[in-house]
Amino acid sequence: TGSSHYENLLISTPHSGVELITLNRPKALNALNSALFVELNEALKKADEDANVGAIVITGSDRAFAAGADIKEMKDKEYSDVYKNKFLENWTLISTIRKPIIAAVSGYALGGGCELALMCDIILASPTAIFGQPEINLGVIPGGGGTQRLARIVGKSRAMELTLTGRNFSAVEAERWGVVSRIVEPVEGKQKVVDEAVEMGKLIASKGQISVQAGKEAVNAAYESTLTEGLKVERRLFHGLFATKDQKEGMTAFAEKRQPNFTHQ
C-alpha cells in the first residue's frame, strides 16, 4: 500500500499488478470537482505508464461512488466559460487509457458519477448501488457521455426515460440491462465489491499485458464502428499478437502442460 500527494484520491496497491484508486471527497459524496478530475487523470496516466500495473480499479465509498459533477462549482458558470474552456473535455482522458479499468460501485453513482462508471471497462456493483442521470432536474442534460453510452448499452427507450425523467435506477435494473457485469453481494454486512474488483484485476493482471490491451481495443471497436470494420480491427489485432513473445509463451506453455509466464513482450 503506497501513499500519494493527492487531496481527493487515495491510491493503493492491494495486490501486485492492481492499482486501486479511491475517490475521496467524503463530505461532498465524492462530487467530481475539477481538482479531483485533474488528479484522477494524473493517477490514471501514471498507472497506464507503470509497467507493474496490469489493471486499475476505481471506487468511492460505501455511501457514494460519486454523486455527480460538483454542482456548487458549476452553478455560476456562464456559456462563454464552459465553451471557451472546454468544460468537461478533460473527462475524456479516461478513454485513452490502454489498461483495463474496473469500476466498483456502491451507493450513489449519479450524473457524472454514473458517467464515470460508464467510461470504465467493467462495472461491478453492490446491491446498494444507485445509478441515474438526474441532470434534467438541474435544467441541463448529462455532459459526460451519459446520453450516448446509455443509449448504446440500454437502448433508446430506457435511455430516453432515464435522461428525460432523471429517475434513478437500481443495481438490479443495471444488471438486468447489462450496465453492470454483476452484483456482488455483501458478506456479514460488509460490502465486497471492491475486493471482488481487485480479484478480477488480479486475474487480468496475470495475463499478458499486450493481449489484454488488444482485447480492450477490440471490444471498444464494437462501440465505435460497423460490424465489418470491427471484425477487421479484431483480425488485425489477433494477427499482430503472433509477433509477441507472450503468444509463443502462452501456446508453448499449453503444449508443454505448464502455466505460462508472460513477460509482456
- In angstroms, what is the minimal distance from the CB of 208 to ligand CAA? 35
**234 flagged as catalytic:** no
DSSP for 128-188, please give it. Answer: T-EEE-GGGGGTS---SSHHHHHHHHH-HHHHHHHHHH--EEEHHHHHHTTSSSEE---BT
**155 flagged as catalytic:** no
- Nearest residue to 133 (alpha-carbon basis) of 121, 119, 122, 147: 147
- In angstroms, what is the minimal distance from the CB of 167 to ligand CAA? 12
Would you say how long the chain is, in residues?
265
Whether the Cβ atoms of residue 50 and residue 21 lie closer than 8 Å to each other: no
Which residue shows C-alpha cell 501513499? 3
How many CB atoms are located within 10 Å of the residue 142 CB?
Answer: 25
User: Which of 28, 31, 111, 135 is flagged as catalytic?
Assistant: 135
Q: Which is nearer to ligand CAA, 67 or 183 (CB)?
A: 67
Q: Which is nearer to ligand CAA, 55 or 110 (CB)?
A: 110
- Nearest residue to 112 (alpha-carbon basis) of 53, 25, 195: 25
Q: Which is nearer to ligand CAA, 72 or 257 (CB)?
A: 72
**112 flagged as catalytic:** yes
Q: Which is nearer to ligand CAA, 31 or 104 (CB)?
A: 31
- In angstroms, what is the minimal distance from the CB of 26 to ligand CAA? 9
Residue 86 DSSP one-character state:
T
**256 flagged as catalytic:** no
**Interface residues toward ligand CAA, by CB under 6 A:** 28-29, 31, 67-72, 88, 108, 110-112, 115, 134-135, 138, 142-144, 146
- In angstroms, what is the minimal distance from the CB of 41 to ligand CAA? 15
Residues designated as active site? 69, 112, 115, 135
